[in-house]
Amino acid sequence: MRHVATLHYTEGLARSAVLSFWKRSVSWKLIAAIAICVAGFVFLLRSGDRSWSIGVLGTVLLFGVLLVVMIYVVHLRQTLQKLRALQNPVATFEAAEDSFTLTSDVGSSTFKWSAVHDIWQFERYWLLLFSRAQFVTLPLIDIPGEMRSYVLEKVMASQARNVG
């Protein structure tokens, strides 16, 4: 069975998708570690400590915060760059039995369903993840319910994780 949908992308949708990706991909463990470092850093500063340990802790804290911020900034810049490269921010999404194809005015890509290792479901869009850092956004407003069910069935049949 073959399903086809025309997907419409906007800068707002792209920003929202990247923010959702960032929120799920930045581990609570990393946020907890940064919070602990902040508490330790503040404690050492208030107690008057000016040893090498405060410098190390401050450096670790700086790198942790930069990492979290850069994950968002890099993905947002790449996503917006790809969106702005389109003359017409529209793509055709074709879901077939063993693969799916995305076609826009800059090219076409076909993926086996098994290339998707996670599907992250949000209210306005789904993110199909190919790795921890690569994903495709599917705006749900453009995908009929029957096609959504078909895509979900194919993704789940390929052993992907469904993160609702």
- Residue 69 CA, distance from chain mean position: 14
* Per-residue model confidence (pLDDT) at position 74: 96
**Is it the case that residue 128 has pLDDT exceeding 80?**
yes
* Per-residue model confidence (pLDDT) at position 33: 87
**Is it the case that residue 108 has pLDDT exceeding 90?**
yes
| CA pair distance 153, 151, nearest whole angstrom | 5
Closest CA to 123 of 106, 102, 138: 138
Annotated domain spans of the chain: 3-15+89-163, 26-84
* β-bridge partners, 111: 100
Closest CA to 24 of 135, 156, 152, 155: 135
What is the band of 162 on the pLDDT scale with cuts at 50, 70, 90?
confident
CATH 2.30.29.30 for the 3-15+89-163 domain, yes or no: yes
What is the band of 28 on the pLDDT scale with cuts at 50, 70, 90?
confident
* Per-residue model confidence (pLDDT) at position 49: 87
pTM of the model: 0.86
With beta carbons less than 8 A apart as the criterion, state whether 86 and 104 touch: yes
Mean pLDDT, the chain, integer: 93
Alpha helices in the chain (DSSP H): 11-25, 28-46, 52-85, 145-157
State pLDDT tens for residues 43-102. Answer: 999 999 888 888 888 998 999 899 999 999 999 999 999 999 999 999 999 999 999 999
What is the band of 30 on the pLDDT scale with cuts at 50, 70, 90?
confident
**Is it the case that residue 163 has pLDDT exceeding 80?**
no
